[in-house]
Amino acid sequence: MAARLGIVAGAGDLPQRIADAARGAGRDVFVLGLEGFAQPPLPQAWVRLGAAAQGIDILRAQGVTELVLAGGVRRPSLLALRPDLRTAKFVAKIGMRALGDDGLLRAIVAELEGEGFRVVGADTILNAALAPEGVLGKIVPDEIARGDVARGVTAARALGALDIGQAVVVQQGVVLGVEGTEGTDALVARCASLALDGPGGVLVKMAKPEQERRADLPTIGPDTVVRAADAGLRGIAVEAGAALILDRAETIAAADARGLFIVGVPAP
């Protein structure tokens, strides 16, 4: 039997989905919730973000050797973090201010591996949901949409290279909106009011070129499709082999029902 899987859980429903998938595969799971982020009742124990020593102790005491980090965590200020000694040492080492989200995640993963844990990506547990290349549903992007996807891939990768965001919305060649820290949902909602007349835009989500793939994969699901449709978008493009599609069948059915395409595109 595989080692006990620890899930360090942030916000959103990804931790629950990972726990369900791991348990469904017969694995023993222990969920450590980050206070202020994880949603009850999933976590079996809780820890403050700034209490790294306590968190590591709990995971060891629970016999966890393999870890997955899942769900959103809003980066705190150093003051709000109230770091314990272990956390402070880590923060001093990496110089937290200088890192984007991705750099910070990579440092956390390295630190946990230094503590003897094996850190695995959500995709290794939710393997079936990694986006394949090509059109996923019944709707095929037309020429204008394909042009928008190409422009979006270039723009999203450039943003990712700067460790800024993963997503852009492009319509008729114009980059309507760019994701900063507000998240994809807020980006999509905002672009509804920025839309041009004529053929609707597309949402493009790509992994960052240097992305720590064990921590923060670009993710879409049925909710993303509904929000995109509500915002007048005509489709969604995600990076093949790097983006997670939650509830794949449901996501594709939602897109087909609303006339949206979903397409997996290779990294450039």
- DSSP secondary structure letters along 155-222: HHHHHHHTTS-SEEEEETTEEEEE-SSS-HHHHHHHHHHHPPSSS--EEEE---TT--TTT---EE-H
144 binds a copy of itself (CB under 8 A): yes
Is 142 a binding residue for a copy of itself by CB under 8 A? The answer is: no
Q: With b meaning 16 or more CB within 10 Å and e meaning fewer, what string describes 200-229?
A: bbbbbbbbbeebbbbbbbbbbbbebbbbbb
- Tell whether residue 105 is a contact of a copy of itself (CB under 8 A): no
Is residue 41 at the binding interface for a copy of itself, with CB under 8 A as the rule? no
164 binds a copy of itself (CB under 8 A): yes
Taking the C-alpha atoms of residue 130 and residue 11, their distance in angstroms, rounded to an integer, is: 21
Q: Is 198 in the site for a copy of itself (CB under 8 A)?
A: yes
- Per CB under 8 A, 181 contacts a copy of itself: yes
Report in angstroms how near the CB of residue 153 gets to a copy of itself at its nearest: 11
The CB-side HSE value for 209 (13 A sphere, CA atoms) comes to: 11
Position among 2, 3, 75, 257 found at the interface with a copy of itself (CB under 8 A): 75
Among 136, 169, 203, 263, binds a copy of itself (CB under 8 A): 169
Which residue, 39 or 172, is less far from a copy of itself as judged by CB?
A: 172
Q: How far is the C-alpha of 114 from the C-alpha of 33, rounded, in Å?
A: 21
Is residue 76 at the binding interface for a copy of itself, with CB under 8 A as the rule? yes
Q: Which residues bind a copy of itself (CB under 8 A)?
A: 74-80, 96-101, 144, 147, 154-155, 158-159, 161-162, 164-165, 168-169, 172-182, 186, 190-191, 194, 196-198
